């Protein structure tokens, strides 16, 4: 949305949830603009005119990305919300500064050069997403969450290329995390539960304000159930909730969502989908995501957004609960591994890792196959050789942070995989956040790095692009910055206790939903991708992984990829995540040939 107010012109994407409160403040303080309507965009401009850009942005509660043109100073400001819910790209092409909320809008610029950033490609294959501030294109960056970029124009509409400004933070996740850890909440557990509930109730209440039909995603897990419970507690009518299910055993959460809905008395809608539905989604994904994006839960995410949009225009989501309150399984077993081996000198661990990798994954596979009659059921698993190689990368880590890198990596040998890739491609240390975290505890390190990388560049990208693709607005109450700041004040024991994550959040939820409806192993929002690739998606995948095609395109070493593909088809290996990253890049590349 674009608007102007005297000195300023704005182009705005997002929502300011507390804009009514800000409007009241402006009136009370004597700033009385001639209000022309009731939009948050008008309030943004008035607040900036009254308090200045930085002070105004610090008061905004919401998800937003906007460009502000100062007519008097001839300065363009780009601003992005604190956690990175809304996207904003920018860069320099043909001597001009270009920006937009979608890469596809930049590719139509007459001087556009769509050169692939090989460093970004290598890191994409390593993690399944392109970590900021890089984009897949050389010369185009993502504005970091919580920052403001100012660009001065010296002449008549010409960018002064002698000055390349850096984004400056107005809210720092690193400072928030450090402050919270080193100055923790010191109240009692009941006090912490009451305060968290109050913060969440307020965040949910603000985000339920809409002049269009509103609902929520409901999977039946802790996060979405908490959001829906707090919505229903503040609604005079049944909240509309939505979920999708799968017929494949182990992937279906629809029955759990249905049970929670019945207890909360929501107006529930569910839809069961299959591989045919997934196949129909595939052609849309490269266009929707603008960049290669390999989180396979993008498929059910799009499908649930599509279902939801048939009934409402705005939907609340439970994203962010895992990163803030310790919900991922890796927070548990990763710390256990480091506690078990961290005391061993790194040289010894490195030697052990080298010994493991002396044998190829296939050789280890053959050894395990011969020993199979002697192994317990827990050790009779697929891909034992690859799992050993991954373990080698984990135990050889010199620091807890580097161990985390090993845990979250998919393709580890990206140097051999990507042609012209930079040597030593590693975790996204150039994303504006220091790789040397202020913590020594592995769980805190993992949660912090997830907050500044995985959450904005994977989770929020997945939901935002899928929702926008069907004209659905999604809102994320857990990412209200006041909730984020309080979550980082909570001591470890209030997040993870007796092997269970999100302990305090569960205490809030159990006030509204019986424990027995929630307590079960975490499954995640996943699809039976491995089976689909051997079945209905096989022809589609085979065409994209054609060796001659990959040689002609010149990005990959096709030998490694074809080996993984054939091993996957054999059924003895499950390389779904590795292959999905390649397939999503290939599918994306196909859509960009005309740009």
Tracing tokens 């949830």 back to the chain, one arrives at 17
Question: Which tokens hold the place of 40?
Answer: 């948050």
Tell me which of 229-243, 343-357, 504-518 is least confident: 343-357
Position 35 scores a pLDDT of 83
Question: Tell me: the pLDDT tens digits for 12-57?
Answer: 999 999 999 999 999 999 886 778 888 999 999 999 999 999 999 9
Q: List every span in the chain annotated with CATH 3.60.20.10.
A: 2-170
Position 529 scores a pLDDT of 87
Between 25 and 1, where is the model more confident?
A: 25
Average pLDDT value over all residues in the chain: 88
Over residues 296-308, the mean pLDDT reads 95
Question: Tell me: the pLDDT tens digits for 264-284?
Answer: 999 999 998 887 888 899 999
CA dihedral 31, 35, 39, 41 (to 10 degrees): -60
Query: In the structure, what pLDDT confidence band is assigned to residue 251 with cuts at 50, 70 and 90?
Result: low
- Kind of pairing between the strands at 314-316 and 473-475: parallel
Question: Tell me: the pLDDT tens digits for 105-141?
Answer: 999 999 999 899 999 999 999 999 999 999 999 999 9
CB 439 within 8 A of CB 488: no
Query: Phi/psi at 556 (nearest 5 deg)?
Result: -125, 160
Position 551 scores a pLDDT of 94
Position 394 scores a pLDDT of 72
Position 117 scores a pLDDT of 94
Q: How far is CA 504 from CA 183, 234, 344, 516, in A?
A: 18, 21, 34, 17
Buried b (16+ CB within 10 A) or exposed e, 195-222: bbbebbbbbbbbbbeeeeebbbbbbbbb
Over residues 203-230, the mean pLDDT reads 96
Q: List every span in the chain annotated with CATH 3.40.50.620.
A: 174-278+293-327+450-517
Question: Tell me: the pLDDT tens digits for 368-395?
Answer: 666 666 655 544 455 666 666 666 667 7
- Fold exhibited by the domain 174-278+293-327+450-517: Rossmann fold (3.40.50)
Over residues 94-105, the mean pLDDT reads 93
Position 426 scores a pLDDT of 47
CA distance 368 to 382: 10
Over residues 507-531, the mean pLDDT reads 85
Using a pLDDT cut of 90, give the percent of the chain over it.
Answer: 65
Query: In the structure, what pLDDT confidence band is assigned to residue 216 with cuts at 50, 70 and 90?
Result: very high
| DSSP classification of residue 457 | I
Tell me which of 270-284, 307-321, 479-493 is least confident: 270-284
Question: Tell me: the pLDDT tens digits for 410-460?
Answer: 887 788 899 866 554 444 444 444 456 778 888 999 999 999 999 999 999
- Fold exhibited by the domain 2-170: 3.60.20
Query: In the structure, what pLDDT confidence band is assigned to residue 463 with cuts at 50, 70 and 90?
Result: very high
Over residues 69-83, the mean pLDDT reads 96
Q: How far is CA 554 from CA 14, 544, 557, in A?
A: 39, 13, 8
Question: Tell me: the pLDDT tens digits for 331-366?
Answer: 987 877 777 777 677 777 777 767 766 666 667 667
* Separation of first and last alpha carbons in the chain: 26
Position 314 scores a pLDDT of 98
Sheet of strand 96-100, all strands in order from the earlier edge strand to the far edge: 96-100, 89-93, 140-142
Between 309 and 372, where is the model more confident?
A: 309
Task: Report the DSSP beta bridge partners of residue 267.
Answer: 240
Question: Which tokens hold the place of 431?
Answer: 């994303």
């Amino acid at each position: 949305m674009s608007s102007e107010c005297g000195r300023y012109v704005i182009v705005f994407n997002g929502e300011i949830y507390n804009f009514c409160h800000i409007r009241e403040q402006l009136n009370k303080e004597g700033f009385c603009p001639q209000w022309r309507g009731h939009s948050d965009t008008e309030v943004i401009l008035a607040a900036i005119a009254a308090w200045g850009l930085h002070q105004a942005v610090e008061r905004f509660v919401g998800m937003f990305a906007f460009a502000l043109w100062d007519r008097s100073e001839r300065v363009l400001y780009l601003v992005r919300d604190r956690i990175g819910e809304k996207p904003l790209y920018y860069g320099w092409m043909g001597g001009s500064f270009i920006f937009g909320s979608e890469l596809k809008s930049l590719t139509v610029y007459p001087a556009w050069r769509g050169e692939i950033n090989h460093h970004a490609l290598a890191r994409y294959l390593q993690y399944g997403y392109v970590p900021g501030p890089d984009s897949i294109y050389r010369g185009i960056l993502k504005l970091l969450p919580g920052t403001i970029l100012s660009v001065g124009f010296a002449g008549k509409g010409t960018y002064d290329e002698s000055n390349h400004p850096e984004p400056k933070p107005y809210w720092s996740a690193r400072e928030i995390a450090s402050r919270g850890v080193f100055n923790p909440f010191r109240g009692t557990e009941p006090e912490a539960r009451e305060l968290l509930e109050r913060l969440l109730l307020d965040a949910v209440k603000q985000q339920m304000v809409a002049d269009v039909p509103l609902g929520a995603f409901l999977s039946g897990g802790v996060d979405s159930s908490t959001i829906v419970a707090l919505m229903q507690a503040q609604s005079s009518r049944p909240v509309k909730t939505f979920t999708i299910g799968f017929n494949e055993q182990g992937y279906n959460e629809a029955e759990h969502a249905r049970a929670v809905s019945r207890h909360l008395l929501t107006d529930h809608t569910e839809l069961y989908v299959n591989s045919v539905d997934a196949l129909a989604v595939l052609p849309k994904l490269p266009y929707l995501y603008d960049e290669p994006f390999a989180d396979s839960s993008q498929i059910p995410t799009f499908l649930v957004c599509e279902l939801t949009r048939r009934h409402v225009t705005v939907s609340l989501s439970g994203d962010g609960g895992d990163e803030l309150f310790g919900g991922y399984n890796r927070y548990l077993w990763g710390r256990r591994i480091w506690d078990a081996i961290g005391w061993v000198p790194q040289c010894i661990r490195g030697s052990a890792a080298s010994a493991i990798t002396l044998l190829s994954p296939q050789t280890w596979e053959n050894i395990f196959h011969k020993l199979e009659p002697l192994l317990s059921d827990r050790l009779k698993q697929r891909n034992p050789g690859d799992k050993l190689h991954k373990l080698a990368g984990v135990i050889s880590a010199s620091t807890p942070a580097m161990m985390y890198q090993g845990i979250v990596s998919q393709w580890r040998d990206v140097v051999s995989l990507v042609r012209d890739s930079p040597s030593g491609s590693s975790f996204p240390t150039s994303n504006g956040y220091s790789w040397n975290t202020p913590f020594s505890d592995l769980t805190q390190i993992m949660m912090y790095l997830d907050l500044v990388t995985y959450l904005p560049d994977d989770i929020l990208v997945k939901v935002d692009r899928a929702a926008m693709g069907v004209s659905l607005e999604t809102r994320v109450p857990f990412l209200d910055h006041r909730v984020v700041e309080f979550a980082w004040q909570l001591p470890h024991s209030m997040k993870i206790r007796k092997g269970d994550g999100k302990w305090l959040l569960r205490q809030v939820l159990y006030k509204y939903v019986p424990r027995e409806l929630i307590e079960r192993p975490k499954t995640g929002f996943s699809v039976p991708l491995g089976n689909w690739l051997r079945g209905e998606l096989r022809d589609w995948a085979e065409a994209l992984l054609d060796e001659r095609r990959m040689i002609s395109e010149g990005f990959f070493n096709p030998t490694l990829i074809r080996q993984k593909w054939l091993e996957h088809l054999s059924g003895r290996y499950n390389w779904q995540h590795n292959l999905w990253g390649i397939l999503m890049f290939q599918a994306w590349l196909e859509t960009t040939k005309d740009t």
